[in-house]
Chains A and B, each alone.
Chain A
Amino acid sequence: MGQGPVSGAGGGAAGPRQSPLVLARSTDAAPRARGLAWHRVNRVQERLLAYALILPVALLIAGLIAYPFFNAIWLSLTEKMVGYPAHFVGLKNYVTLWDSARFRIVAWNSVVYTVGSIGAKVVIGLAMAAALQKAVRGTQFLRGFLLLPWVIPTVVIALTWRWLLDLYRGLVNVSLLDLGIIKAGFHWLGNPDLAMLSVIIANVWRGFPFFGVSFLAAMQTVPQDLYDAASVDGASAWQQFWRISLPSIKGVVAIVTLLSTIWTLNDFNIVYIMTRGGPGAATHIFATYSYELGIQSQRWGMAMAASMYSLPVIALLIVFVVRYLHRDEVAS
């Protein structure tokens, strides 16, 4: 970690930012005097150390994120035939996709999957936070247990839901039949609409605990006085939730929703494992479709162009989140 030049300069004296408290405590005057003398050198030294420390992060971002990403944008503007080098085709891939019925289904599915999953997660998350807000016995344990879906591998979750929703032997159909609620098992993963519902259910199951715990943490920072005052004024629990809890956590709700949207719009694992995008293209979303075009059909330019269609939305959301979080970070 930048050992050589920096530590070699030695005697790193106090910078200009030391607090009066520290100065008052320091009984040895020598370092302080030296501090003034070393001031300029120290400033340079601090910068060198900083650059040395961030160099690995910078190299990683440049080499394995920025370069691949911009290279892929270029790739989306090219076409490659077997036996020939890739050549520039402009926006042809984008136009082809735009005109493709299958791609439009993919784009629409991605929106349905994202909005459906996140809508359900917000509602269930709010219910969870509201229910756990007042200290009930065993809240700590309950919260810990409810977070389990968020910890275990997504692949395990997707496989488990595939098995739960199995037509003949899955627990869901078998227990619904045993309870006499239905006469014949639902074809969960075989019917286009039910298949979309199924992947959303698995996604919600995995994600709602994180929403709930985030909302809960935010709600617990609301001063109890507000609720007490509202109770005195005769506000019902329902009104307190709508008028006090919800308005005070809306920032957290917004940020969690934005973060989740960024990742859900380009989700891959759950759909790939549960349906492979099927039946037909009923559950195909951006990432599974890119996989089909790129990895399976080797149409790399087209695959990248398909991914790029989600970029404007993703970029916009990232800007929102960065502005929000970075502002917090600077303030603290």
Chain B
Amino acid sequence: MNVRIFRWLVVAVLLLLVAVPLYWILATSFKTGRQILMSEGVYFPRPFTLENYLYLFEETRFALWLRNSAVTAIASTLISLAIGSAGAYALTRLRFPGRRSFGALVLITYLVPPGLMFIPLYRTFIQIGYTNSLGTLIIAYPTFLVPFVTWLLMGFFRSIPRELEEAALVDGATRLQTLRRIVLPLAAPGLLAAGLFCFTLSWNEFLYALIFIADDNLRTLPVGLSEFVVSDFAFWGQLMAAAALASLPVVLVYIYLHKYMVSGLTAGAVKG
């Protein structure tokens, strides 16, 4: 078969494969409950309505879930950036006994799947009597964010020429001054990218949020969404509207992050 045709065929199929479910989310979210129930002309919303979106804010706790997700994601991201960037700097720039093993340990912890850790972590939170609070999630998320940030930033720190730092040290700057005036400004794009990755991972996290939180008012978006489905019945219009809104922040972040993802794609940049 002609190679050009084959190439375009593959691209067309993949585009369709990705586009159709995304279209289905948006199309459903703009349909009336009646149209969905009766399966009338399923391909387009007719009539076009915003009632599902309004319903979310007027009749459900969607706004609350949105707030909980934002608080959790932002707080755990900031904590992880602070802890992870310090660790990454030490691991790339400073010499100390045990450095290599510690680097390997960070990588190992990054690889441990959450599906294996949720019960151990939950038991630990029960032992210390700290479940059912957004704070639980804010300290649980760094268990996967910090190893990730550390690993990612080690790459960025390594790309900053050592000579710049050494020149500053020779001129009498302290290590910390060097860190603050030279390394951090140069690593700023890396920190921003790592922060946005962390935000995305926290925002999308489901398993820990499902298990550690029992209070309805403390649910994050993914858990709130999952509970729209009651036994085999679901309000698909409202649910797809919620799905679209829940995806919006990470899609926006991604539009900005795209160049980092594609150019600096290190193996396992993100779990999945």
* A interface residues with partner B (beta carbon < 8 Å): 1-3, 6-7, 9-15, 17-19, 21-23, 25-26, 28, 31-32, 34-35, 45-47, 49-51, 53-54, 56-58, 60-61, 64-65, 67-69, 71-72, 75, 124, 127-128, 130-132, 134, 136, 142-157, 159-164, 166, 168-169, 171, 174, 205-207, 209-210, 212-214, 217, 237, 252, 255-256, 259-260, 262-263, 265-269, 272-273, 286-287, 290-291, 294-295, 300, 303-304, 307, 310-311, 314, 318, 321-322, 325-326, 329-330, 332
Q: What are the residues of chain A within 8 A of B84 when measuring CB–CB? A: 57
Residue of B17, B39, B111, B240 near A262 (CB, 8 A) is B111
The answer to the question of B28 belonging to the interface, with a C-beta cut-off of 8 Å to chain A, is yes
In addition to A6-B174, A156-B243, A290-B115, 6 A-B residue pairs with Cβ atoms within 8 Å of each other are A15-B166, A18-B166, A68-B123, A148-B251, A300-B123, A314-B112
The answer to whether B172 and A11 have CB atoms under 8 Å apart is: yes
Q: CB-CB contacts of B121-136 with A at 8 A, as 1s and 0s?
A: 1111000000000000
Q: What are the residues of chain A within 8 A of B140 when measuring CB–CB? A: 64
Q: What are the residues of chain B within 8 A of A237 when measuring CB–CB? A: 3
The answer to whether B21 and A164 have CB atoms under 8 Å apart is: yes
The answer to the question of B99 belonging to the interface, with a C-beta cut-off of 8 Å to chain A, is yes
Q: What are the residues of chain B within 8 A of A152 when measuring CB–CB? A: 204, 247, 250-251
The answer to whether B139 and A213 have CB atoms under 8 Å apart is: no
Interface of B, helix, strand, loop or mixed by DSSP: helix
Residue of B115, B139, B221, B250 near A266 (CB, 8 A) is B115
Report the stretch among B56-64, B87-95, B187-195 that lies at the interface. B87-95
The answer to whether A154 and B119 have CB atoms under 8 Å apart is: no
Q: What are the residues of chain A within 8 A of B122 when measuring CB–CB? A: 294-295
* B interface residues with partner A (beta carbon < 8 Å): 3, 6-8, 10-11, 14-15, 17-22, 24-25, 28, 36, 39, 42, 82-84, 86-87, 89-91, 94-97, 99-100, 102-109, 111-124, 139-140, 142-143, 146-147, 150, 154, 158, 162-163, 166-167, 169-179, 200, 203-204, 206-207, 210-211, 221-223, 225-226, 228-229, 234, 236, 239-240, 243, 246-247, 250-251, 254-255, 258, 261-262, 265, 267-268, 270-272
Which 7 pairs from chain A and chain B are nearest by CB?
Answer: A266-B115, A287-B115, A72-B120, A68-B120, A57-B87, A53-B90, A50-B94
